[in-house]
């Protein structure tokens, strides 16, 4: 466990916030890399997304509100499709899943990665061709596997010996042959928060390459009647900027692929390199565009295949965050503002909004950094160090740890936080009996709900009197 949130935060405060944060020349200016492509500050100072003023959106749909920019989502999906022309690109639905985004992803030529029966159910109901679905999970139940097999999903990514046996049986009982990828652990220390790194040895996902488990799993899949070996799968973690992790992983996975060819005499036709491509949450982050990523990954794979004397398998990737993350901002209403004295005469403005860790747990859970801006107007007041906090009964209920905000920010103002499309609504909770906010999609001046907000009745419905 990390140290207590407040302790760590107090440690490096100072009057100017963390060293990476600098006071803006203009507190109203938007940092383009953080916002979806259609976000603008209009002449009267308010923010608009997809051609709609956020004040109007909040009037109609309430706050907090996730505002999803359809054009931005589609263009990021299309950018991956175009940058990876010889790959299959699976949108990782765990980042954010609803029927609308599933439809957009498929229309833009992507496939879909799901990791639970619930995600699978949503995808099937949204009408996704099951052969375009990849089914993940380290502990899929028999019922989930049976449903996936009966639906005819395009691939199941197996993660344990028990699952290989279970899936083989389920397939055989139904006289089906299920295409299977074997998830392996490449033994890479990805440079990201430990909770979202997945390729080092001491964590729950995958079969270890180093320990020989991966080769044994492949052997069992190849031998099972109801299973068809598609290939290996490696996902090293999430919010990764440093491509060297992908390089090392690709090298180790391809070396195993070559061993499978040599020792088992089977040529797996595919290889999946997972997702995990980072996005910009603050000015600290400098992500690579899909084209640069694609060139880097393809260069490594081609080089390794040549060196190993094997044909390049068909590749796939599974970006989630890099497609949906920047497409969404969350708009909140400010409720209270409190100036808190820090050391050496410095102070910080605590801005409390009407949501919090129930609609974005990432700051509390991963120590994630976010940014924000005043959304209902611009301000000519000076910029002061602020912290955006929620309404939950917990001191760690922080949305934006450090950002400069106008000193005149006040109750009733709207505040927007960019980059909340991935792992915010999908990880939202009802902590403190706070209803989860709606998601509204905007495009060309039109707005429509894609996920309804919860009402008090929704919350009370589950309570047994």
3-state secondary structure of 78: helix
Residue 54 and residue 50: Cα distance in Å, rounded? 10
C-beta neighbour count of 150 within 10 angstroms? 12
Q: Which of 137, 231, 245, 275 binds ligand LLP (CB under 6 A)?
A: 275
- Closest distance between ligand LLP and the C-beta of residue 232, in Å? 12
Binding mask 25-64 for ligand LLP (x = CB under 6 A): ----------------------------------------
Span interacting with ligand LLP, options 7-15, 222-230, 280-288, 317-325, rule CB under 6 A: 317-325
- Closest distance between ligand LLP and the C-beta of residue 159, in Å? 9
Q: Which of 140, 362, 392, 401 binds ligand LLP (CB under 6 A)?
A: 362
Q: Which of 97, 170, 182, 196 binds ligand LLP (CB under 6 A)?
A: 196
Nearer to ligand LLP, 320 or 390 (CB): 320
Nearer to ligand LLP, 113 or 413 (CB): 113
Span interacting with ligand LLP, options 13-21, 81-89, 162-170, 271-279, rule CB under 6 A: 271-279
Task: With CA atoms as reference, report the closest residue to 434 among 369, 377, 361, 345.
Answer: 361
Element (H, E) at 222: helix 213-223
Strand locations in 410-455 (E) = 414-418, 439-443, 446-451
Nearer to ligand LLP, 14 or 118 (CB): 118
Catalytic residue among 115, 305, 372, 393: 393
Q: Are 332 and 352 in contact (CB under 8 A)?
A: no
Q: Which of 270, 318, 369, 403 binds ligand LLP (CB under 6 A)?
A: 318
SS3 content of the chain, % helix, strand, coil (to 5): 35, 25, 40
- Closest distance between ligand LLP and the C-beta of residue 105, in Å? 13
C-beta neighbour count of 430 within 10 angstroms? 13
Total of residues contacting ligand LLP (CB under 6 A): 23
Strand locations in 103-243 (E) = 111-114, 133-135, 155-158, 178-185, 207-208, 227-233
Residue 290 contacts ligand LLP per CB under 6 A: no
Residue 366 contacts ligand LLP per CB under 6 A: yes
Nearer to ligand LLP, 350 or 366 (CB): 366
Residue 125 and residue 362: Cα distance in Å, rounded? 29
Q: Which two tokens stand for residue 239?
A: 């919010």
- Closest distance between ligand LLP and the C-beta of residue 193, in Å? 7
Residue 185 contacts ligand LLP per CB under 6 A: no
Q: Which two tokens stand for residue 457?
A: 């009745």
- Closest distance between ligand LLP and the C-beta of residue 250, in Å? 15
DSSP state of 260: I
Residue 366 and residue 362: Cα distance in Å, rounded? 5
3-state secondary structure of 459: helix
Residue 140 contacts ligand LLP per CB under 6 A: no
Whether 424 is catalytic? no
Q: Which residues contact 292 (CB under 8 A, 6 or more apart)?
A: none
Instruction: Just list the catalytic residues.
Output: 393
Where does this chain bind ligand LLP (CB under 6 A)?
Answer: 92, 94-95, 113, 136, 196, 235, 238-239, 274-277, 318-322, 362, 366, 422-423, 427
């Amino acid at each position: 466990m990390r140290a207590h949130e407040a302790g760590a935060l107090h440690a490096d405060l100072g009057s100017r916030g963390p060293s990476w944060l600098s006071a803006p020349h203009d507190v109203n200016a938007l940092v383009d890399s953080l916002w979806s492509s259609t976000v603008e500050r209009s002449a009267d100072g308010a923010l608009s997304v997809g051609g709609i003023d956020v004040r109007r959106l909040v009037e109609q749909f309430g706050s907090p509100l996730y505002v999803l920019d359809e054009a931005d989502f589609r263009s990021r999906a299309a950018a991956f499709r175009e940058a990876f022309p010889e790959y299959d690109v699976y949108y990782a639905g765990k980042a954010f899943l609803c029927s609308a985004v599933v439809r957009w992803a498929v229309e833009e030529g992507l496939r879909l990665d799901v990791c639970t029966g619930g995600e699978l159910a949503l995808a099937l109901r949204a009408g996704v061709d099951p052969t375009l679905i990849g089914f993940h999970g380290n502990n899929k139940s028999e019922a989930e596997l049976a449903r996936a097999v009966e639906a005819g999903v395009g691939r199941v990514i197996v993660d344990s010996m028990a699952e290989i046996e279970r899936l083989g049986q389920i397939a055989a009982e139904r006289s089906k042959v299920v295409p299977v990828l074997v998830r392996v652990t490449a033994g890479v220390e990805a440079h990201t928060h430990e909770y979202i790194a997945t390729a080092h040895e001491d964590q729950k996902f995958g079969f270890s390459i180093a320990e020989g488990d991966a080769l044994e799993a492949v052997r069992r899949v190849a031998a099972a009647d109801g299973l068809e070996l598609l290939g290996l799968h490696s996902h090293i973690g999430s919010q990764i900027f440093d491509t060297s992790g992908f390089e090392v992983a690709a090298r180790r996975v391809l070396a195993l692929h070559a061993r499978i060819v040599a020792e088992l005499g089977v040529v797996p036709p595919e290889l999946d390199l997972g997702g995990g491509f980072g996005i910009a949450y603050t000015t600290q982050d400098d992500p690579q565009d899909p084209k640069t990523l694609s060139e880097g990954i393809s260069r490594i794979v081609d080089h390794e295949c040549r060196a190993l004397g094997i044909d390049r398998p068909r590749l796939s990737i599974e970006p989630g965050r890099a497609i949906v993350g920047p497409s969404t901002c969350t708009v909140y209403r400010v409720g209270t503002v409190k100036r808190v004295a820090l050391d050496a005469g410095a102070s910080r403005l605590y801005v409390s909004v009407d949501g919090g860790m129930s609609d974005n747990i990432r700051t509390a859970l991963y120590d994630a950094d976010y940014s924000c801006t005043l959304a209902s107007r611009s301000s000519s007041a000076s910029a002061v160090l602020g912290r955006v906090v929620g309404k939950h009964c917990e001191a760690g209920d922080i949305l934006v740890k450090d950002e400069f905000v106008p000193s005149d920010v006040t109750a009733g103002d709207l505040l927007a936080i960019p980059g909340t499309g991935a792992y915010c609504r999908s990880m939202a909770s009802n902590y403190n009996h706070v209803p989860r906010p709606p998601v509204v999609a905007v495009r060309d001046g039109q707005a429509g709900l894609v996920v309804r907000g919860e009402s008090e009745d929704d919350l009370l419905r589950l309570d047994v009197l």
